[in-house]
Amino acid sequence: MSVTEAQLESRRIAGEALAKLKGQIEKSHDFYQVRSSTGDKFYKVTPRDEGWFCSCPDFTIRGVPACKHIFAVQFSLKIRETVRAAGSNYRAIQRFKMPLLRF
């Protein structure tokens, strides 16, 4: 069974929600650790030349093109870029209503 657009969209939404929570994503040297929904473990999200990879069952077993952990990291990176580009524009940072990320 292939993954529908709607299924991918639900992961994108879940990923964005995850990215807005504090302490869910930690950067290691060449990958990110994203806390699982149950909160008891971290999944490893790695950017590779051939695309993003995640160690969660949704990605490795179900084979979705992108899971919520990947979307969460991508969304965080996008926010960082926006914040950096905004410089001292506080309003742009406020728009996301989230704590500044440490990485």
Neighbours of 76 (CB within 10 A): 23
- Residue 30 or 87 with smaller CB distance to Zn ion: 30
CA torsion, ordered 33, 30, 79, 37, to nearest 10 deg: -10
State in angstroms the smallest separation of the CB of 97 from Zn ion.
Answer: 24
Asked if 74 and 33 count as a contact pair (C-beta separation under 8 A), the reply is: no
Smallest gap, in angstroms, from Cβ of residue 55 to Zn ion?
7
Nearer to Zn ion, 56 or 79 (CB): 56
**Interface contacts to Zn ion, rule CB under 5 A:** 43, 54, 56, 59, 67, 69
Closest CB to Zn ion among 32 and 43? 43
34, 72 Cβ separation under 8 angstroms: yes
Contacts of 14 (CB under 8 A, 6+ apart): 68, 71
CB of 31 to Zn ion, least distance (A): 12
Q: How far is the CB of 8 from Zn ion (least distance, A)?
A: 13
